[in-house]
């Protein structure tokens, strides 16, 4: 069933490319693609210590490459690895590299892959069998290793002693102003052939205001937009493309003893966490605040990807919430819950405030407040909060890889990659159930990504989870 659904979704994703190319003639070389991204990016290294964001993945994916890549059906295809094989137990894998070059002209070798992955805590033994063959040995079976290696963090990056980084991708860095903008130029020696545009300019930390909708966007090719900004664009007959409801909007309760510098704070009582979950009106949040560009979330992964999310309870139950609150109050003092959200995101603010209103009906006091650099890692944003409201991207169209990446983004993996050892949907369901049973994680909604596209953009393709595929992109007016 999942494969059939993904085929339908893949077909719909092609429509995005068709819409963007309605005035198309033939692809042309040249021109500059200018893109506006919401998030601030301070490092282009896929393994930097800064918070993982979709913006960084999108930029880094043009500069650096993984061994494999995913199609819209969730199937892996060759990228830097021309082929691969595994033993029957799925514990020993070999990846044969294609002939490719870094942007500095040096050849990519198996030892470069080993060095690039050295910072990743997987528990795997990664070695170079020869110049072009990478060996990966795992302590337990990993059924979807090629799919896993398509994640951005497994990109092959050469890190030089002077702190510069070099990739192999279709574009290379020409000008980089951390947190503000980056200019990329086409890699003339790219193994896959030169890209059509001469350059891509990405402007960061952009906040679209309504007065810009039809006045100043003509200079740009594409822009990330929030669901609150999409409707005015559509009313102005602008082209807005949506992914499937993929990003997870979720409340994560933080652990006081995690080294986050939260002295004197006690964990929120599990009964209060459960009461909060029962009090949330997910349908109202999805339909009104998120303007029907989201669906209520009962689990970590969306229903269209797994087929089992409907099995998790998620309906609003105020009576049960009140009972749990009363039970907790009879035994302990119930202080207010401080809920941190990204102050730069007006939608997160509205959702957090609605959660507080719903919780009040059950007698639970939630105090939302805005904070910068919100992340699941309690040592960073949200360190002074009891919980954080997070938006977690769906990083893969393969369910076990997607679940592993989501747990990693929520800092709940503890260095384990258990979902990768789970070959059946029933196994993944059980991992999700155990993750959700104590209500430390409270899913709220699965949210679509929205993208404004200029009429000058052609063949801009977007996968069901919002991942951009720009290998066939070209722009009108190029030479």
- Among 147, 231, 204, smallest CA distance to 465 is for 147
State the residue for tokens 């993750």.
Answer: 435
The backbone region for 90, taken as left when phi is positive above 0, alpha when psi lies in -120 to 50, beta otherwise, is left
Contact 405, 151 (CB under 8 A): yes
- Among 73, 92, 185, 199, smallest CA distance to 136 is for 92
- CA dist., res. 352 & res. 444, Å (int): 10
Regarding whether 454 and 399 lie in a shared domain, the answer is no
- State the CATH number of the domain containing residue 50: 3.40.190.10
Regarding whether 95 and 3 lie in a shared domain, the answer is no
State the residue for tokens 């009891």.
Answer: 386
Contact 473, 459 (CB under 8 A): yes
Please enumerate, as own/partner, the contacts of 453-456 that have beta carbons within 8 Å and a separation of 24 or more: 453/19, 453/20, 453/221, 453/222, 453/239, 453/240, 453/241, 454/217, 454/218, 454/220, 454/221, 454/222, 454/239, 455/22, 455/23, 455/239, 456/221
- State the CATH number of the domain containing residue 143: 3.90.76.10
| pLDDT, tens digit only, all 479 positions of the chain | 444 444 544 444 444 444 444 445 688 999 999 999 988 899 999 988 777 789 999 999 999 999 999 999 999 999 999 999 999 999 999 999 999 999 999 999 999 999 999 988 888 999 999 999 999 999 989 999 999 999 999 999 999 888 889 999 999 999 999 999 999 999 999 999 999 999 999 999 876 554 455 456 778 999 998 888 888 888 888 899 999 999 999 999 997 654 444 555 688 999 999 999 999 999 999 999 999 999 999 999 999 999 999 999 989 999 999 999 999 998 888 899 999 999 888 899 999 999 999 999 999 999 999 987 665 554 445 568 999 999 999 999 999 999 999 998 898 876 555 677 777 899 999 999 999 999 999 999 999 999 999 999 999 999 999 999 999 999 986 65
Q: Which residues contact 472 (CB under 8 A, 6 or more apart)?
A: 17, 27, 196, 459, 461
Please enumerate, as own/partner, the contacts of 476-479 that have beta carbons within 8 Å and a separation of 24 or more: 476/23, 476/31, 477/31, 478/28, 478/29, 478/30, 478/31, 478/196, 478/197, 478/198, 479/28, 479/29, 479/30, 479/31
Regarding whether 124 and 189 lie in a shared domain, the answer is no
- Among 122, 134, 152, 149, smallest CA distance to 68 is for 149
Picking from 120, 141, 168, the residue at the C-terminal end of a domain is 168
Distance from CA of residue 435 to its chain's centroid? 19
Regarding whether 298 and 341 lie in a shared domain, the answer is yes
Picking from 168, 201, 221, the residue at the C-terminal end of a domain is 168
Number of structural domains found in the chain: 3
Regarding whether 388 and 281 lie in a shared domain, the answer is yes
- CA dist., res. 398 & res. 393, Å (int): 14
Regarding whether 364 and 421 lie in a shared domain, the answer is yes
Regarding whether 229 and 95 lie in a shared domain, the answer is no
Picking from 168, 188, 221, the residue at the C-terminal end of a domain is 168
Per-residue tokens: 218: 């003509």
- CA dist., res. 298 & res. 318, Å (int): 16
Q: Which residues contact 275 (CB under 8 A, 6 or more apart)?
A: 320, 321, 322, 324, 325, 328, 359, 362, 363, 364
The whole domain housing 370 covers: 247-447
Regarding whether 402 and 302 lie in a shared domain, the answer is yes
Across 133-144, b (16+ Cβ under 10 Å) vs e yields bbbbebeebbbb
Work out the number of other CB atoms within 10 angstroms of the CB of residue 24.
Answer: 13
Regarding whether 268 and 378 lie in a shared domain, the answer is yes
Regarding whether 57 and 196 lie in a shared domain, the answer is yes
Regarding whether 78 and 49 lie in a shared domain, the answer is no
Regarding whether 426 and 279 lie in a shared domain, the answer is yes
Distance from CA of residue 469 to its chain's centroid? 15
């Amino acid at each position: 069933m999942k494969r059939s659904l993904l085929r339908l979704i893949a077909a719909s994703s092609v429509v995005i490319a068709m819409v963007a190319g309605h005035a198309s003639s033939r692809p042309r070389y040249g021109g500059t693609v200018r893109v506006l991204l919401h998030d601030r990016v301070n490092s282009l290294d896929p393994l930097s210590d800064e918070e993982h964001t979709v913006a960084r993945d999108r930029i880094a994916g043009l500069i650096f490459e993984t061994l494999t890549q995913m199609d819209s059906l969730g199937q892996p295809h060759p990228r830097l690895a021309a082929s691969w094989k595994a033993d029957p137990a799925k514990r020993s894998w070999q990846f044969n590299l294609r002939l490719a070059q870094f942007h500095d002209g040096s050849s990519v070798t198996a030892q470069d892959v080993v060095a690039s992955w050295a910072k990743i805590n997987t528990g795997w033994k990664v070695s170079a069998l020869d110049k072009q063959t990478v060996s990966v040995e795992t302590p337990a079976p990993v059924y979807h290793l090629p799919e896993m290696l398509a994640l951005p963090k497994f990109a092959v990056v050469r890190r030089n002693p002077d702190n510069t980084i070099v990739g192999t991708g279709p574009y290379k860095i020409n000008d980089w102003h951390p947190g503000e903008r980056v200019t990329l130029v086409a890699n003339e020696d790219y193994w896959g052939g030169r890209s059509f545009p001469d350059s891509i300019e990405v402007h960061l930390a952009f906040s679209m205001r309504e007065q810009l909708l039809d006045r100043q966007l003509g200079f740009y090719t594409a822009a990330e937009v929030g669901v609150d900004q999409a409707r005015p664009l559509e009313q102005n007959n602008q082209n807005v493309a949506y992914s499937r409801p993929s990003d997870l909007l979720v409340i994560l309760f933080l652990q006081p003893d995690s080294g986050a510098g939260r002295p004197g704070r006690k964990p929120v009582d599990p009964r209060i966490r459960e009461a909060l979950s029962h009090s949330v009106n997910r349908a109202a949040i999805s339909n009104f605040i998120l303007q029907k560009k989201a669906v209520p979330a009962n689990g970590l992964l969306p229903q269209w990807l797994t087929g089992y999310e409907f099995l998790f309870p998620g309906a609003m139950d105020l009576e049960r919430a009140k009972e749990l609150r009363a039970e907790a109050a009879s035994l302990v003092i119930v202080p207010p819950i401080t809920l941190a959200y990204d102050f730069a995101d007006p939608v997160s603010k509205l959702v957090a405030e609605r959660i507080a209103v719903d919780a009040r009906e059950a007698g639970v006091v939630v105090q939302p407040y805005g904070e910068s650099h919100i992340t699941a890692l309690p040592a960073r944003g949200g360190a002074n909060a009891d919980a954080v409201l997070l938006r977690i991207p769906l990083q893969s169209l393969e369910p076990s890889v997607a679940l592993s990446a989501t747990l990693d983004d929520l800092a709940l993996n503890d260095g384990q990659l258990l979902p990768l050892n789970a070959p059946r949907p029933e196994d993944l369901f059980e991992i999700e159930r155990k993750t959700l049973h104590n209500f430390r994680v409270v899913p709220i909604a699965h949210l679509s990504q929205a993208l404004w596209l200029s009429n000058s953009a052609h063949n801009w393709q977007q996968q069901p989870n919002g991942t951009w595929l720009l290998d066939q992109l070209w722009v009108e007016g190029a030479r």
